[in-house]
Homo-oligomer: A and B are copies of this chain.
Amino acid sequence: MTDDAPRRWGRRQLLQTGAVALGGAGAGWSAAAVALPAEHSDAPGAADDGATPYAASPGTSTVAFHGPHQAGIATPAQAHLSLLGLDLLPEVRAEGLGRLLTLISDDAARLARGLPALADTEPELATTPARLTATFGLGPRVMSDLLGSTVAVRALPAFRTDRLDLAWGQTDLAVQLCADDPMAVAHARRMILKDVSGFARVRWIQDGYRHAHGAVPDGTTMRNLMGQVDGTVNLAEAMPDFADLVWSDETGFEGGTFMVVRRIRARMESWDRVDRVGREAAVGRRLADGAPLTGTSEHEEPDFEAVDDLGFPVIDPASHIARARSADPRERFLRRAYNYTVPDPSRPSGEDSGLVFIAFAADVDRQFVPVQRRLAELDRLNEWVTTIGSAVYAVPPGAAEGEYVAERLLAV
């Protein structure tokens, strides 16, 4: 392939010639044999304008895959997460990465519309996308060594409170799958894992959950498994500075962003020994409604100057919200975390649980790192939570129709 040839591959050509190990008769299965909602169109160039984020049926609601930004970032968080950490095989270079991104962009776009993947082995499982989104991230090694990109994605600095396990560490690629239906996530995960199998190996899979869609009103701040309202201070697309804080304006990366993944284990056994007053003091918010200890409603501004009758601060300066807060409005980012639980009979509680913390920021070093550094220095919550996995990814801008994600990064 010459340098000026466009790095784009026809999907059917890839299926015939690519490195993908396909099931024997897979490509021969006709998606047309599957009963599909009439409003869906698989015609080339069909616009995604028909995206139906909150249709009457939660099963057939869709989120557009194509657009200036990847889906699954500004998208209101769905109920279920499956985050895949993948390492490219040693022989896969930029061209192979392009093939892989072509495959998974194509399948993710189909699945997001409620259409089967091209070589879908279980096409009937594709019919309830339930706001399925697939978001692709590229790790530091891929960006620098493989793509020679000027867009820097730097590893996070070491934080003294981290106890990192490489099994949950930095990978070459991340694929974040989210949907309101666990079956939609499971099917998309299987299709994407089959697409990547000739190109990459799975290092980890981090599954997570929030409330089921409809179980709490849309827009309710999530609760974590420690019982706290978690993520009150967050960005929302309607905010005037959302775009500035989330979308990159780096040349060639406009509309992209960066994703921080932190696996935060909660020590529920010791958390159990803390009473309600102690729990609220550690966070600085009331458990019942998430209001700051100086206020009466969740989104009220905390008053860090307020003192009680004895002259002590109402909100402990070492509490989580006091330490996380910054006077610098740039030290904010988009949080999109999920709870996790993994059965673990070896632990007294029978399970390992915590948070798959996911954050998006236009500039991780400027927006996320200072906050995390303060929390690592001092945060009363540190007694009960430990970060055991950490990774950071460049999340390329969204793909236009007929394009694959990161195509412009690979074309330079």
- Is there an interface contact between A225 and B272, defined as CB atoms closer than 8 Å? no
For chain A, the bracket of interface size reads: 35 or more
> Which A189-213 residues have a C-beta within 8 angstroms of B?
189-190, 193-194, 197, 201-205, 207, 209-213
Chain B residues near A181: list those with CB within 8 A. Answer: 211-212, 215
Min Cβ gap A293→B in Å is: 15
Q: How far is the CA of A125 from the CA of B213 in the complex (A)?
A: 16
- Is there an interface contact between B25 and A276, defined as CB atoms closer than 8 Å? yes
Interface residues as binary, A74-88 with B (CB distance below 8 Å gives 1, 0 otherwise): 000001100010000
- Residue A180 lies at the interface, judged by CB distance under 8 Å to chain B: yes
- Is there an interface contact between A183 and B204, defined as CB atoms closer than 8 Å? no
- Residue A7 lies at the interface, judged by CB distance under 8 Å to chain B: no
- Is there an interface contact between A26 and B272, defined as CB atoms closer than 8 Å? yes
Q: Please, which residue of chain B has its CB at the minimum distance from the CB of A209?
A: B182
- Is there an interface contact between A186 and B209, defined as CB atoms closer than 8 Å? yes
Identify the stretch in A238-246, A308-316, A342-350 within 8 Å (CB) of chain B at 4 or more residues.
A342-350
Q: Which of B182, B194, B215, B343 contacts A272 (CB 8 A)?
A: B194
> Which A354-387 residues have a C-beta within 8 angstroms of B?
none
Chain B residues near A124: list those with CB within 8 A. Answer: 223, 227, 287-288
Q: Which of B84, B197, B210 contacts A348 (CB 8 A)?
A: B197
Identify the stretch in A28-36, A92-100, A154-162, A317-325 within 8 Å (CB) of chain B at 4 or more residues.
A28-36
> Which A246-297 residues have a C-beta within 8 angstroms of B?
268, 271-276, 278, 287-289
**A interface residues, Cβ below 8 angstroms from B:** 23-26, 28-29, 33-35, 57-59, 79-80, 84, 121-125, 128, 130, 180-184, 186-187, 189-190, 193-194, 197, 201-205, 207, 209-216, 223, 225-227, 268, 271-276, 278, 287-289, 339, 341, 343, 345, 348-351, 353
- Is there an interface contact between A80 and B182, defined as CB atoms closer than 8 Å? yes
Q: How far is the CA of A197 from the CA of B360 in the complex (A)?
A: 39
Q: Please, which residue of chain B has its CB at the minimum distance from the CB of A349?
A: B193
- Is there an interface contact between A275 and B183, defined as CB atoms closer than 8 Å? no
- Is there an interface contact between B350 and A193, defined as CB atoms closer than 8 Å? yes
Contacts A/B (CB < 8 Å), 18 sampled: A23-B273, A24-B273, A24-B274, A33-B288, A122-B227, A125-B223, A130-B212, A130-B215, A182-B210, A183-B209, A183-B210, A183-B212, A186-B225, A186-B353, A189-B341, A190-B353, A203-B345, A205-B345
Q: Please, which residue of chain B has its CB at the minimum distance from the CB of A211?
A: B183
Whether A275 contacts B350 in the complex (CB less than 8 A), given A183-B212, A212-B180, A345-B203, comes out as no
Chain B residues near A216: list those with CB within 8 A. Answer: 59, 128
Whether A350 contacts B205 in the complex (CB less than 8 A), given A25-B276, A213-B212, A289-B35, comes out as yes
- Is there an interface contact between B343 and A211, defined as CB atoms closer than 8 Å? no
Chain B residues near A128: list those with CB within 8 A. Answer: 211, 215-216
Q: Which of B34, B57, B274, B289 contacts A214 (CB 8 A)?
A: B57
Chain B residues near A211: list those with CB within 8 A. Answer: 59, 128, 181-183
Q: Which of B25, B35, B122, B123 contacts A225 (CB 8 A)?
A: B122
Min Cβ gap A26→B in Å is: 7
Q: How far is the CA of A182 from the CA of B214 in the complex (A)?
A: 12
Q: How far is the CA of A212 from the CA of B58 in the complex (A)?
A: 9
Chain B residues near A130: list those with CB within 8 A. Answer: 212, 215
Min Cβ gap A192→B in Å is: 10
